[in-house]
Structure 1
Amino acid sequence: MKRLLTESKKVVLVLTAIFICNSCARNPVTGKRDFSLVSKDQEIAMGQQADPEVIAQFGLYPSEALQNFINQKGQQMVAVSHRQDLKYQFRIVDSPVINAFAVPGGYVYFTRGIMAHFNNEAQFAGVLGHEIGHIAARHSARQQSKTMLAQLGLVVGMVVSPELAQFGEQAQQSLALLFLKFGRDDERESDRLGVEYSTKIGYDANYMADFFRTLQRQQEQSEAEPIPDFLSTHPNPADRYQTVKELAADWQQKTKAKNLQVNRNTYLKLIDGLVYGEDPRQGFVEANVFYHPELKFQFPVPTGWLYQNSPTQFQMAEKEGKALLALTLAGGKTLEEAAQQTMQKYSLQALESKKVTVNGFPALAVVADQQAQQDQQQQQQQQTATIRTLTYFIQDGASIYSLMGISAKPDFETYFTTFSNTMQQFRKLTDPARLNKQPERVRIKTIAKTTTLAEALRQNKVTDNRLTEMAILNGMELQDQVTAGTLIKVVQ
């Protein structure tokens, strides 16, 4: 028996080695073979599936000029990249967060928040090259392979350790999160590629390094504490600054590039009028109340809770993560249809429901459990609910809103009053000041006479409490001299 087991292990090891060798694809950047379980066709399919989800989550920023700009520069850069065998798509999404990201299959996204913080085309080009670099070096595909391999290992673990089966779903989610972000080595490689690609299409990559200074200052001004180097998958902005400066000098020497472009004024004119910060037309929070001017409703946010808004949902979370409230549009033409579809979507089992009226709106209140299956033996006997929800389905004309409160079953009674109070205060928005609230926008101003940035900002009606914010937005220090004729950004 022992010999048979030993021989079986040898066979498994041989088969595994063959499987891994066959799963190695040549990296277009390094020329070396990388372990990958994701084919090119699978990469493309992943991107095609993710793209509508990204757009649904954030929405596209409604500016044809900006969308054409990122697509034109993106396609120009793809032509000098290591990977031209994909149909790349470049989009600016309607989010105030300072971010840019890429998904497998050639999809690259910049937020309007990051577009507002660039101060010239060279900075933009460096970050664009960085994101194309993630795709060219197959970082996304490699990360997906790690996730698949981790889940494969989990399944094997379940076979040999049945007692772990009940934790299977949670473990898979944790492993997926573990590999969700790119590692530091991938980020450094993409920085290098960003310098290379932006230099090759004629931009001065030194300005890419300057943008890392902006990121660092923005992080320092953030309410959240900076992430320590050893905890972050991204290299620290201060470290990246020096590295990118050195890379830029190397590539300029290699290519003997001359007359490299910065194009500060042309970029600033392009973003004149760009929405800055949260767009109140998509909903905003003021004095612990969420208002939606377009849909004309309001409801309170529980005191001390964190919140996040997107075009498809508004989420609120208790600081310790023990409870969640989420507003979305529900499907169905009637309250009953909306409840039934939601129960099916989230595998919920209704415990009780009743028709109610919420400030003149017809509504349906439902308490439901989400069932979590235990191991096979327990599964045959019973199912234990781990999640309990309270959902108010509220009808306003043809629209039905779902306000769902979610917590672990033992915590449900603790948060029930918070859930119900929030839902019962859903009401029509009638205040003209909030109905007509408009977003702040980036405005480009010309300095009339040489002065300091601080004084130039004050002359353009920037209040003292926002001077530092505007200095970071301009990529400058408040004491910097700005000469007559210089363009600067203000927010109005």
Structure 2
Amino acid sequence: MKKILTKFNVSGLLAATLLICHSCATNPVTGKKDISFVSKQQEIAMGQQADPEVINQFGLYPNAQLQKFINEKGQKMVAVSHRKDLKYEFKIIDSPVLNAFAVPGGYVYFTRGIMAHFNNEAQFAGVLGHEIGHIAARHSAQQQSKTMLAQLGLVVGMVISPEFAQFGEQAQQSLALLFLKFGRDDERQSDELGVEYSTKIGYDATQMADFFLTLKREQEKSETEPIPDFLSTHPNPADRYETVKELAAEWKQKVKTPNLQVNRNSYLKMIDGIVYGEDPRQGFVESNVFYHPELKFQFPVPTGWAYQNSPQQFQMAAKDGKAIMALTLVPGKTLEEAAQQLLQKYQLQALESKKETVNGLPAYALVADQKPQQEQQQQQQQQTPTIRTLTYLIQYNGTIYSLMGISASTDFENYFTAFSSTMQQFRKLTDPAILNRQAERVRVKTVAKAGTLAQVLRQYNVPEKRLTEMAILNGMELNESVTAGSLVKVVQR
């Protein structure tokens, strides 16, 4: 028995070794062999699939100058990188969250939120190099390989139960690539590459270290109002500051380039007017009501429910994760046609339906079930409850809106009142104060009179409760001296 077992183990080890060796690829940065089940072609395909989903989810930020800037700097940096064999694309997406991320195949994204918080081109360049470093070192592909090796599924973190993910339309594997958490070694390597690449194209990489302090302060400020963790793809920046400063000093000696650039004023002038925080024109929640000034409608959000807004949909979820509601647009010339398309799309079986009027608007109410497919039941080896939905289709201004409430059939009665009350309070938005609500924007000011940052900010009528927030936005301390003629950022409507 012992001999047979030993022979079996050796055979298994040999087979595994052959499989791993067959799946090795040379890392462009280190030159060493890495385990990879993802080929270059697959990597490109993943990026091509993920890119339209990213754009649909967040939207591009509509600023041609900034889009041109990130692409020009990105392409210049690719030319000095370890991996020039990909067609890179660089885009700024319309999200207020402070983040930058890369997906396989050469796609790099910066949010307008992080662009607003940079205080010079050198800070931007360091983070840009970091993200290109993830692609150059094939970190996303390696993470995907590790995931496949461990037979773990990639699912976007959601505030709702997994069985409802198909309705949220956020669980696609390609979009989930954005949310891979890189390990310490990967992040350290990308920091090193960020310093190297930004220095090679003429920027002072010390500024990259300074930006980590801004991120640290932003995280500390957000402890009571946490940054949405669906974009928190990077580890805590606190311990990276000193390391990056040392790396920057080393690379400054290596390249021997005099006058490495910071370019503070030119960057600040370029982002003057960038949207800051949530853009109310795209919809916002205030006093438990969702308003959409552009589309001119409103409806309540159940008390205590979490919510998330995107260009594609507005989603609400009960804190216990047992129910969600989602507002989306649905195709169809009539409400009945839209209802049929909805049933077909989600493979729902109608239980009851009726024509309604919701605050003077034509509507169609529909209760429908979705039972688990047989193979799902077999895979899970347990009884999965039927999903029950209540949908109100509402016709308004030539568009059909779907408000769908979703829960397990066993919980449906508990949430029916919340579902129906929300849907029946969908109405036209007529309040001029809401209709005319404008986004806050970063405004760059030339300091007329020297003083501390706090004194300067007060000159521009910054409220006391927002002084710390503006200090972080400027990458400065409130007691720091500001000279006359220098530029500072404030936020105004």
| TM-score normalized by the length of structure 2 | 0.89
* TM-aligned CA distance change 1:177 to 1:322, over 3 Å: farther
Letter in 2 for 1:432: P
Partner of 2:205: 205
Partner of 2:360: 360
8 Å CA contact 1:447–1:486 kept in 2: the answer is yes
* TM-aligned CA distance change 1:136 to 1:35, over 3 Å: same
Letter in 2 for 1:196: E
Letter in 2 for 1:351: L
CA drift at 1:465:
1.2
Q: Distance in 1 between matches of 2:477 and 2:455?
A: 12
Q: Distance in 2 between matches of 1:179 and 1:144?
A: 11
Letter in 2 for 1:204: D
Partner of 2:438: 438
Which residues in structure 2 correspond to 1:101-250 (within 5 Å)? 101-151=101-151, 180-224=180-224, 234-250=234-250
Q: Distance in 2 between matches of 1:88 and 1:153?
A: 27
Letter in 1 for 2:201: I
Q: Give the fraction of aligned pairs with identical amino acids, expressed as a percent.
A: 78
Partner of 1:157: none
Alignment partner of 1:482 is 2:471 = no
Partner of 1:455: 455
Partner of 1:396: 396
Partner of 1:27: 27
CA drift at 1:330:
1.2
* TM-aligned CA distance change 1:56 to 1:233, over 3 Å: closer
Moved more, 215-224 or 271-280: 215-224
CA drift at 1:362:
1.5
Letter in 2 for 1:319: K
* TM-aligned CA distance change 1:115 to 1:184, over 3 Å: same
Letter in 1 for 2:38: V
8 Å CA contact 2:147–2:153 kept in 1: the answer is no
Moved more, 114-123 or 458-467: 458-467
Moved more, 144-153 or 204-213: 144-153
Q: Is the partner of 1:385 in helix, strand or coil?
A: coil
Letter in 2 for 1:412: F
Letter in 1 for 2:151: Q
Q: Which runs of 5+ in 1 are unaligned?
A: 155-165
Partner of 2:294: 294
* TM-aligned CA distance change 1:282 to 1:78, over 3 Å: same
Alignment partner of 1:385 is 2:385 = yes
CA drift at 1:10:
6.2
Partner of 2:471: 471
Q: Is the partner of 1:410 in helix, strand or coil?
A: coil
Partner of 2:79: 79
Q: Distance in 2 between matches of 1:247 and 1:287?
A: 48
Q: Is the partner of 2:385 in helix, strand or coil?
A: strand
* TM-aligned CA distance change 1:398 to 1:414, over 3 Å: same
Which residues in structure 2 correspond to 1:10-25 (within 5 Å)? 13-25=13-25
Partner of 1:263: 263
Moved more, 122-131 or 277-286: 277-286
Q: Is the partner of 2:371 in helix, strand or coil?
A: strand
Letter in 1 for 2:216: Q
* TM-aligned CA distance change 1:42 to 1:30, over 3 Å: same
8 Å CA contact 2:293–2:435 kept in 1: the answer is yes
* TM-aligned CA distance change 1:296 to 1:486, over 3 Å: same
Q: Distance in 2 between matches of 1:75 and 1:386?
A: 51
8 Å CA contact 2:121–2:267 kept in 1: the answer is yes
* TM-aligned CA distance change 1:214 to 1:132, over 3 Å: same
RMSD: 2.9
CA drift at 1:253:
1.9
Q: Distance in 2 between matches of 1:201 and 1:455?
A: 37
Q: Distance in 2 between matches of 1:323 and 1:337?
A: 26
Q: Is the partner of 1:190 in helix, strand or coil?
A: helix
CA drift at 1:250:
1.6
Alignment partner of 1:50 is 2:63 = no
CA drift at 1:30:
0.8
CA drift at 1:178:
12
Q: Is the partner of 2:203 in helix, strand or coil?
A: coil
* TM-aligned CA distance change 1:290 to 1:81, over 3 Å: same
Letter in 2 for 1:27: N
Alignment deviations for residues 33-84 of structure 1 (CA, whole Å, 9 cap, x no partner): 1111111111111111111111111111111100000000000100010000
8 Å CA contact 1:374–1:383 kept in 2: the answer is no
Q: Distance in 2 between matches of 1:204 and 1:141?
A: 30
Q: Distance in 1 between matches of 2:3 and 2:185?
A: 43
How many residue pairs match? The answer is: 471
Partner of 1:330: 330
Alignment deviations for residues 263-284 of structure 1 (CA, whole Å, 9 cap, x no partner): 0000000000101111111111
* TM-aligned CA distance change 1:382 to 1:398, over 3 Å: farther
Q: Which runs of 5+ in 2 are unaligned?
A: 155-162
